[in-house]
Chain A
Amino acid sequence: MIIDADSWKRLKRSKVALVSGALILFLVTVAIFAPLLSPYPFDEQYLDQILTSFSSSHWLGTDNLGRDMLSRLIYGARISMAVAVFTAVIAFFIGILYGSISGWLGGWVDSVMMRSIDILDSVPALVLLILVKVFFDSMNLVDNPELRSLLGMLLALSFVSWVSMARLVRAQVLQMKQMAFVEASRSLGASGARSLMKHVLPNIAGPVMVLLTYQIPSNILFESFLSFLGLGLQPPYASWGVLANDGWRTMRTYPHLMISPGVAIFIAMLSFNLLGDGLRDAIDPKSK
C-alpha cells in the first residue's frame, strides 16, 4: 500500500482531485488506444484539404500538409504522455537510489554526493537540458533517427529531473533514520539495507508520490520547450510541443493550429498539478 487508508479517504473526498484524476485517466486512455480512436492516420496527407479550419470531416481542421489535426493531437498525446511518464519513472529510480545512499550513509559520502548535486543545480535547467540533449542526440545511440531523438529526449529530461527527487529522498531518509522504529529494527539486528528497504522507504512513499505527480507536468513543459527551441522530436512523430511550435508562427492566419495543442498541454498540466495538490493535502492534511 503506497498511501495509507486515511489519506486515500481524504483524497476521494476531494472533488478537484477526483475530476483531475478522471481527466488524466481519459488522457492516458486516449494515448494508449490512439490507433483505434483517431479518425485518420496521423501522417496521411489530404492534399485537397490543406489548412482547413474546424469542419465536420476534420473536427480540428488540417495542417499545412493536409494532415488531420485531431489524429495528430491524439497521437501527440501518446508521445507527450509517454515521454513525461517514462522520464518521471527513470528520475524516480535514480533519485531513490542516489538519495537513499546519500541520506543513509551520511558523513563525507553525503557531503560529496550533495555537493555534486549542488553543482548540477547551479546550471539553469533549460541550459543544462539543451547541452545534454545536444550531447545525447549526437551520440548515435540507435540507428533509427526518430527513435534516437525520442531516446535522447528521455535521457536528457531524466538527467535534469532526477536531482529534485534525490534531494527529497535524502531529506526524508535523514529524518526517518532517527525515528525510534528504525533504530529498533537496527538494534534487533536488521542489516542496514533491510531497515532501509523495509522500514524507511515505505514510510517516505507519500512525499515521493507527490513529487512524482508534480514532475509529470514539468516534464511535459520541458519537452515542449525543447521542441520549441528546435531540439525536439523528429517528424513525422509529433508531440503536443512540436504541434504548438508549428502552430504559433501562423497564429494570426491559422489560429486552429495553435489552439488545439495549446489547450491539450494546458489541460494535461493543470490536471497533474491539481492531482498533485490533492495528493499533497491528503497525505499531509496540515498543509492545506
Chain B
Amino acid sequence: MKALIRKASFLPLGLFALSVVWTFLGYELPAVLLGAFIFTTLGYFSFYVIENHLSTYVFRRVLEAAFTIFVIASLTFLLLRLVPGGPFDEEKALPPEIKANIEAKYGLNDPLWKQYVNYMGGLVQGDLGESYKYVGRPITEIIASALPTSIQLGVYALLVAYLLGLPLGVIAASKHGEWLDSALMIVAISGVSLPSFLVAPLFVMLFSFTLGWFEPALWMGPSYYVLPMVVLGIRPAAGIARLTRASVLEVIRSDFIRTAKSKGLSWRKVLFKHVFRNSLVPVLSLAGPMVAGILTGSFIIELIFAIPGLAKHMVQSVTNRDYPLVLGATLLFSILLVVANLLMDLVIAMIDPRVKFT
C-alpha cells in the first residue's frame, strides 16, 4: 500500500511540472490541466490523510485556518475603519452632497457594527464588496484577474529558490572545510544580505540593457519571466543553501550514517538514500516562512518590473484608501500563506514518518 501511495505521487507532481512548463512558455493554462492538477493533488492528499487516520487532524487544522482568517478579516476591517480620514477625502474637496451620496452608496454612514455585519455576511458568500476607486468593479473580479500572475511569479521563484539552494547546500556540505565550501557560503550570506531592490536594477542593467537577453519589465512571455523570478528567488535560495548545508552536515555525523557506511553501502547510495532524505526535513519545514518571504518580496519585484499582480494592487489601494481592495488583498495573502503551511506540514509528514500530529 505504502509503495502504491509513493508511486501515485508522480501523477500530481508530473501534472504540476507540466503546468509550470506550459505557463512558462507563455501559454495560458488550460482549465483541463489546472483541473486535473487540483483534482489529483486533492485526491492524493485525501487518500494519504485517510490512509494514515489524519482526517481529524486535517479537519481541525482547516477549522483553525478558517478561524484565523475570520479574526484577520475582523481586525483588518476594524483597523481600516479606525484610521482617521475617509476614502473620499480628496485634495480638492468634493461638494458635500456628492460626497454624502457616494458614502451612502458604499454604506459608510451606517453604524460600525452594521458595516461589519454586512461585510462579514458578504465574505461568507464570497463577496468582497466593490472597489472605491475602480468604480463598479467587484473586488473578487480585480483579485481574480491579478492572482494568476502573482501565483505564477511566486511558484517560479520558489522553484528557483529550491533548485538553486538545495544543490549548492549539498555541494558545500560535501566539500566541508574546503575552499569551495567557504566560497559558496560567502556567496550565500551575501545573497541573504542583498535587498532585491538593489539586485533588480543591477540585473536589469546587465542582462537586459547591456546584454539584451531578457526584457526589463512587464509580464508577457518567457523572456519577461526570467529576471523577476530569479531576483525574487535569490534571497530564499541563499537561505535554503545555508540551511541545507547545516542540515546535511548534521546528518552525516549521525550514527545511522556510520552504520550504513560500515555495512558497505556505496557512498552515493548512502548520500541519496539516507543523508539527503533525512536532511530534507528541516529544509522543507522552512517552506512556510519561505512562502511568506516570497510573498513579501513580490511587493518590491512587482513594483520594479511593473508586473500586474496582487501586490501592486495592495500598494496602490493602500495609498488610494481603497479599503475593500486592501481588505481583500490582505485576506488573500493570508489564505495563501495558511494553505501553504498546511500543505507543507502534510508533505513533511509524508517524507518523515517520525513526525507525529497532535
Q: Chain A residues in contact with chain B, CB under 8 A?
A: 118-119, 122-127, 130-132, 134-135, 138-140, 217, 221, 224-225, 228-231, 244-245, 248, 251-252, 255, 258, 262, 265-266, 269-270, 273-274, 277, 287
Q: Are A266's CB and B338's CB within 8 A?
A: no
Give Cα distance in the complex from A287 to B247, angstroms: 10
Q: Chain B residues in contact with chain A, CB under 8 A?
A: 68-69, 71-72, 76, 79-80, 82-85, 189-190, 192-195, 197-198, 200-201, 204-205, 209, 246, 292, 295-296, 299-300, 303-304, 314-315, 318-319, 326, 329-330, 333-334, 337-338, 341
Give Cα distance in the complex from A225 to B292, angstroms: 15
| Shortest Cβ gap from B297 to chain A (Å) | 8
Interchain CB contact (< 8 A) of B337 among A122, A131, A140, A255 = A122
Q: Are A266's CB and B314's CB within 8 A?
A: no
Interchain CB contact (< 8 A) of B201 among A118, A119, A229, A251 = A251
Q: Are B84's CB and A273's CB within 8 A?
A: no
Interchain CB contact (< 8 A) of A225 among B190, B295, B300 = B300
24 residue pairs from A and B, CB less than 8 Å apart? A119-B72, A122-B72, A122-B337, A123-B333, A123-B337, A124-B292, A126-B296, A127-B295, A130-B318, A131-B76, A131-B80, A135-B79, A217-B193, A224-B195, A224-B197, A245-B197, A248-B198, A248-B200, A252-B205, A258-B198, A265-B198, A270-B190, A273-B192, A274-B189
B292's nearest neighbour on chain A, judged by CB, is A124
| Shortest Cβ gap from B154 to chain A (Å) | 11
Q: Are A270's CB and B79's CB within 8 A?
A: no
The prevalent SS among residues of B at the interface is helix
Give Cα distance in the complex from A244 to B196, angstroms: 11
Question: Which of A119, A139, A265, A274 has the most chain B CB atoms closer than 10 A to its own CB?
Answer: A119
Give Cα distance in the complex from A262 to B82, angstroms: 37
Query: Assuming A229-B299, A229-B303, is B83 touching A266 (CB within 8 A)?
Result: no
Q: Are B198's CB and A127's CB within 8 A?
A: no
A225: which B residues are within 8 A, CB to CB?
Answer: 195, 197, 296, 299-300
Total residue contacts A-B, CB cutoff 8 A:
111
B193: which A residues are within 8 A, CB to CB?
Answer: 217, 266, 269-270, 273
Q: Are A130's CB and B314's CB within 8 A?
A: yes
B80: which A residues are within 8 A, CB to CB?
Answer: 131
Q: Are A123's CB and B209's CB within 8 A?
A: no
Query: Assuming A119-B68, A125-B296, is B330 touching A262 (CB within 8 A)?
Result: no
A124: which B residues are within 8 A, CB to CB?
Answer: 292, 295-296, 333-334, 337
A274's nearest neighbour on chain B, judged by CB, is B189
Q: Are B338's CB and A122's CB within 8 A?
A: yes
B190: which A residues are within 8 A, CB to CB?
Answer: 266, 270
5 cross-chain pairs, A with B, having the tightest CB-CB distances, nearest first = A269-B193, A126-B296, A270-B193, A124-B295, A262-B198
Q: Are A221's CB and B84's CB within 8 A?
A: no
Give Cα distance in the complex from A124 to B85, angstroms: 26
| Shortest Cβ gap from A241 to chain B (Å) | 8
A130: which B residues are within 8 A, CB to CB?
Answer: 314-315, 318
Query: Assuming A135-B83, A230-B319, is B314 touching A127 (CB within 8 A)?
Result: yes
Interchain CB contact (< 8 A) of B303 among A119, A228, A231, A270 = A228
Interchain CB contact (< 8 A) of B189 among A125, A126, A277 = A277
B189's nearest neighbour on chain A, judged by CB, is A273
B195: which A residues are within 8 A, CB to CB?
Answer: 221, 224-225, 244, 265-266, 269
Q: Are A123's CB and B334's CB within 8 A?
A: yes
B341: which A residues are within 8 A, CB to CB?
Answer: 122
Query: Assuming A125-B296, A287-B246, is B79 touching A131 (CB within 8 A)?
Result: yes
